[in-house]
Structure formats: structure tokens, C-alpha cells
Structure 1
């Protein structure tokens, strides 16, 4: 278990809108809800309504692969942000200072990483409860959002994927709340899922 205090540091939301996908050979513009910004953070900890489908007011463009009960909340650790700032600086030759929501996540957290979280674990945050369901698998839209064609591949290779959660107890939540992890069966961690995908896709090209 990490030594850092486990805490929710930002709740993020966004509307679906056009995303220029010039990194994808077959598409130029697609709709996406990946562009999110903080609506509650440590400096301005406003209460946010959470229901069974996630953050009220947040949108997803393609409900066949995003959102829904099993992927209502996307969580991402703040600890990975320096990795992305450094990678994008190296690849794009431009300084980056990515802010919470930049990965398309609803919850930016600290003190909890993919190796510590297992499918079926319960996260208690404030008065709300969530169940961990699966890792996030990035697609070409993530490449377009980051303006780097290797972003999805880098996310999986690094293991810095984050994870989805199902909402068990809805209600109001604000940034700053501590996170309490209640272990489930702990048979498959999010890091285990990442490794399984990488092994399965070794002979294919997952990132076309």
C-alpha cells in the first residue's frame, strides 16, 4: 500500500465536442468527451453531484465504449502527470504542464496506483462508495487529445492507465476527501490487466 495519503484532489467534467484526429489515417474529426477540466479541487472544493452514471453534467460521445454503469467514473493518479509532461516535451519539443482532467479522468487522485488497486475493491470517498471494475484502454482519441500519435501506446507500455469504477452509493462529493480502500478478493490488479493486454496484443497493432 502506498505511503502517501490517499485523497481525491480534483473532480473533472466536460462536454462532448469535436476532436481533431489528424493522427488517425481514416478520420479527421470525431466527437469526444475526453476534454475535461476541474469543477472541484483543493483550492475550490465545491460539492459535485454523483449518480449511477457518474458526474452529473459530464458527457461521453460514444456510449458504446465509454461511460455507462460499469465505467461511470474514470480515475487517474496525479503521480503519473510528470511522466506525461516529460514525454510530451521530448516528443513534441514543447513544454507541458498538464492539469487535472487532462487524461480525460473524472477523479484525479493521489496515493493510490494501478498495482495497489484490484478489480472488485471498494473505494470509500466521503460518504460515497465505488467498486473498481477495469483498467482504461486508450484509443486513437487519446492520441488526438494529446497531439501525439504514440500516446495510447505509451499509456499501456508505462502502465499509467488509471481505472474505471461503478458507483455504489451516489450523492455529493468534493475534492479533498480522503480515500479509504476496502479490499475485495484481490485476484486481478489493474496492473495485471495491463500486462495481460500487452501480452495478448504483442503480435497485433493495438494502436492503429
Structure 2
């Protein structure tokens, strides 16, 4: 199975730097690179993550964000933030055209030149997005609109550059587009049938545990700290 599905608009990297709130750091500010850049199992050469407990690692080595979403955000985020709509603004490593949460499935294997990536999970946006854009609630809006972007593990290291074509070479779970997964994560989080079905496919350990807990307890994990930076409280549906 091989089909051309998209193209890289930009390859972006960033360093961990002091963030807006005292004592916090972030590498969400990323800039595009002009030349080819090496891709390792841990991610792009020169790229960093500030909090390795929730960012980076083999299962989240590369963050892809559809460039199509930028047009949608420009239409919705009126005001001074729209002038900063450039590649890497959402902290992505690869800004792409042709790949969205609607047409990419969990487990898809993407070939880009000599690099092979496997789609592992969607992004869970956090309060740092709100602070960067100075728009309260933007992280939550990313969830509701399902414009989160997604992560990949590196199956085969190599070189990447803007302009490289993206081919879909394997699709083990055609019934699980990322949009369906996002609906289960944020829109209908306690759908028992969907929870049972998602647990039949290969998931990263953290998500397997999350869905198992939802199914067994009929409660959802609290999102307060992630979305707003505040101390979480018990939340049930």
C-alpha cells in the first residue's frame, strides 16, 4: 500500500527556554530550518522538550500539525495574534499539507524520503498554548475543534526537509481516523462501546491505561491542570 497523501511545508525545531510564568520552561516556540535535518529515534536534530514527562520520548518523537488549520484559526482568532501565523507557531516539528485528523488514522506508517514514521497518538494541548497566544481557553478550543495535531514515533531515521512528499505505506486501523479518537477523548469520553473497541487496537501504554480506567470507573481524568495550569479537582460525568 503506497499512496501520496501530502507534503512537508516546513521542518521546525526549538530550544527549551524560560516561559511566561516564573519557574516554567517551554520549547513551544519553534522556527523552520531551510536545509535537510537529521531525524533520530528521539526526534529532530537540535529540537528540545522542556518537560520530558509529558513531551518527547520515543512515542512522541515528532509532532505534526496540519497547515490547513492555520487558515481556520486565522478566521476565528481575530486580532493581533493573527499576524504571527507562521510555521511552528503551535510547537510542531512538521508543518504539513494533506494530512489532517480526518484522513490520518492511528497506526498509519508514513514514508518521507528515507524516513519512516508511525502515527502514535493525538496531541493533548495544554495551558502553555493559552499563554503563548494570550487567549484564555485556546487549549480547550483545540480539543473541541479537534485541531490538535498528532505525534509519531520514528521507525527509520534519516533526513527531512521542506518540500518532501509524504506517502502512506501502511494503515492497520482504517476504522480509527484520529478524528474518531479525538471524539472519544474529548467529546463523548464515556462511550462504552467506543471504549471497548479502542482497547482492541494497539495503543501507547499511557492511553491504554487511560481508556481502561474510564471503562472500569465510568469517570474521566481531570483536565484542569493541563488546560489551565490550575490544581485539578475531581471530575465525573
**Which band: TM-score by shorter chain?**
0.7 to 0.9
Answer yes or no: is the 8 Å Cα contact 1:36–1:104 preserved in 2.
yes
Greater RCO structure (CA 8 Å; 6+ sep): 1
* Pair 1:155–1:178, CA change in 2 (3 A): same
- 1:81-133 CA distance string (max 9 Å, x none): 012223321xx565424101001000000011101111111010111100000
Structure whose residues are more often helix by fraction: 2
Q: How much has 1:184 moved relative to structure 2?
A: 2.0
Q: Within 2, Cα distance between the matches of 1:74 and 1:12?
A: 10
Q: Deviations over 1:172-202 (max 9, x none)?
A: 1111011001222324221112111212289
Aligned to 1:130: 117
Residue 159 (1) aligns with residue 146 (2): yes
Residue in structure 2 matching 1:34, options 21, 28, 32: 28
Asked if structure 1 preserves the Cα contact closer than 8 Å seen for 2:6 and 2:97, the reply is yes
Deviation at 1:56, TM superposition (A): 0.9
Rg (Cα) greater in structure: 2
Task: Give the 3-state SS of the residue equivalent to 1:70 in structure 2.
Answer: helix
> Partners of 1:194 and 1:9 in 2: how far apart?
24
Which structure 2 residues correspond to residues 32-111 of structure 1 after superposition, within 5 A?
32-40=26-34, 46-89=35-78, 92=79, 95-111=82-98
Report the equivalent of 2:203: none
Distance 1:34 1:131, change over 3 A: same
Per the alignment, residue 195 of structure 1 pairs with 183
Aligned length: 192
The two structures have a TM-score, normalised by structure 2, of: 0.75
- Which sections of structure 1, spanning at least 5 residues, go unmatched? 22-27, 41-45
C-alpha RMSD of matched pairs (Å): 2.1
Q: Match of 1:25?
A: none
The answer to whether residue 129 in structure 2 is matched with residue 139 in structure 1 is no
TM-score (norm 1): 0.85
Shift in CA distance, 143/125, structure 1 to aligned 2, threshold 3 Å: same
* Kept after mapping to 1: 8 A contact 2:5/2:167: no
SS in 2 for 1:11: strand
Alignment of 1:8 with 2:24, yes or no, is no
Partner of 1:24: none
